[in-house]
């Protein structure tokens, strides 16, 4: 038995040690690592009916990944333009949602983090309440607002800004607003945590030395809050790229989200390996993108999740 395991059992006793170790191993290996590997393995296999699984036809193939790039064999186009467009649109839209959230949340996080008083607690409750409401219901609420006879259209037409109802849903405005809305708290919270620990004297000092407010933020607050900003951005980006409910409810009829393609492969086409391959592509691309961004902005992995 290796030394650290022995020490571990000495410290926790055999029974407790086994319980802790068992639960941790079940979680990390049984729930996190093996399912992901199993999905990776599955994505390289052809779509076979159950009796043929494990048979001679069950060999590794790149078919599912080729499908995403080149489309069905003998198709009219040389690339799978539909799916690829959905894929890149999803990524770009997720980036836009993240930036949008960062811009609207930064002032709030700064205000909440740096001001004192009992009203801050009320604001915190008001921030958390929407997050406790079901994701579906939040999307539903926005759908009521953005609908053709919704509050916004009634308001704008009443003010005479539009003559005819503006179709927010077909133009994807509802979708972006919904995605931004869904993850606001995940952006504010990490930033708030970091900014709260910033010593107000640093800001005072910068102000005394004659820095204008924007330079105080640029040179003092933002560098200090970088870990919070990066974990907020990472979470919002990953979650909006992987969102399913908001696109299903708020998305226009012609515009799909990449997760909806995965959903279709699983539920409508019943092609699990294809769906698994798409899921792997989404996961790997998102992780690579986040890592690239972290390198670009010089953030450490350890800062995320703090």
Partner 1 sequence: MNTSFLRISIWVYLAIFFAYLLGPLVIMSITAFNSSGFPRMSPWECLTFQWFSELFQDQRILNGIKNSLIIGAGTVVLSVAMGLAGALMLTQIWPKLRATYYTIIIAPILIPGVVLGISTLVFWDRINRMLGLGADSFLSNGVFLTVIGQSTFIASYCMLVLVARLQRYDIALTEAALDLGATHAQAFRKILLPFMRPAIASAAVLAFLASFENYNTTTFTFGEYPTLTIELAQKVRYGITPAISALAFIIVALTVFFALLNEAKLKRQELVAAARKKATVEELAGKIKLPSFFAGNMAAVLLVVFAVATITVVGTATAYNPAQCIANVKEQKQLEAEQRIQELRKQREERRKQREAEEAEQGDAQQSAPKPSNNSGFGNVFAPNTLGGEEDEGAADTEEQPSGSNNSGFGGVFDPNSLQNDQ
Separation in Å, CA 133 to CA 137, 139, 167, 181, 273: 7, 10, 26, 12, 34
Task: Give the per-residue contact string, 186-225, with partner 1 (x = CB under 8 A; - = no).
Answer: ---------------------------x------------
Q: Which residues contact 93 (CB under 8 A, 6 or more apart)?
A: 172, 175, 176, 179, 240
Among 69, 92, 103, 129, which residue interacts with partner 1 (rule: CB under 8 A)? 129
Task: Give the per-residue contact string, 53-72, with partner 1 (x = CB under 8 A; - = no).
Answer: x-------------------
Task: Give the per-residue contact string, 98-117, with partner 1 (x = CB under 8 A; - = no).
Answer: ------x--xx--x------
Residues numbered 3-22 forming contacts with partner 1, rule: CB under 8 A: 4, 8, 11-17, 19-22
Among 6, 34, 197, 215, which residue interacts with partner 1 (rule: CB under 8 A)? 34
Shortest gap between Cβ of 82 and partner 1 (angstroms)? 19
Shortest gap between Cβ of 217 and partner 1 (angstroms)? 13
* Phi-psi domain of 105 (left: phi exceeds 0; alpha: psi -120 through 50; beta: other): alpha
Distance CA 287, CA 275 (A): 18
* Phi-psi domain of 80 (left: phi exceeds 0; alpha: psi -120 through 50; beta: other): beta
Q: Which residues contact 258 (CB under 8 A, 6 or more apart)?
A: 86, 87, 90, 91, 241, 278, 282
Q: How many residues bind partner 1 (CB under 8 A)?
A: 96
**Which residue stretch of 60-68, 73-81, 219-227, 281-289 sits at the interface with partner 1 (rule: CB under 8 A)?**
281-289
């Amino acid at each position: 038995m290796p030394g650290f395991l022995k020490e571990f059992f000495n410290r926790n006793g055999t029974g407790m040690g086994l319980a802790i170790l068992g639960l941790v191993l079940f979680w990390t290996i049984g729930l996190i690592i093996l399912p992901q590997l199993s999905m990776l393995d599955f994505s390289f296999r052809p779509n076979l009916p159950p009796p043929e699984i494990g048979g001679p036809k069950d060999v590794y193939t790149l078919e599912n990944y080729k499908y995403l790039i080149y489309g069905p064999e003998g198709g009219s186009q040389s690339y799978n333009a539909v799916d690829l467009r959905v894929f890149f649109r999803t990524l770009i839209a997720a980036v836009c949602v993240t930036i949008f959230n960062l811009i609207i949340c930064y002032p709030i996080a700064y205000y909440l983090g740096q001001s004192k008083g009992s009203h801050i607690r009320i604001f915190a409750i008001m921030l958390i309440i929407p997050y406790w409401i079901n994701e579906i219901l939040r999307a539903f609420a926005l759908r009521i607002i953005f609908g053709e006879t919704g509050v916004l259209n009634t308001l704008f037409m009443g003010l005479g800004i539009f003559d005819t109802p503006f179709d927010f849903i077909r133009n994807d405005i509802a979708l972006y607003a919904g995605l931004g809305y869904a993850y606001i708290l995940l952006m504010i919270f990490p930033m708030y945590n970091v900014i709260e620990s910033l010593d107000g004297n640093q800001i005072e000092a910068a102000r005394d030395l004659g820095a204008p407010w924007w330079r105080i933020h640029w040179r003092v607050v933002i560098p200090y809050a970088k870990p919070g900003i990066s974990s907020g951005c990472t979470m919002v980006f990953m979650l909006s790229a992987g969102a399913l409910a908001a696109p299903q409810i708020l998305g226009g009829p012609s515009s799909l989200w990449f997760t909806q393609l995965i959903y279709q492969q699983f539920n409508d086409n019943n092609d699990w390996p294809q769906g698994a391959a798409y899921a792997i592509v989404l996961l790997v691309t998102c992780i690579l993108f986040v890592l690239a961004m972290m390198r670009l902005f010089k953030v450490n992995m350890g800062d995320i999740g703090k």
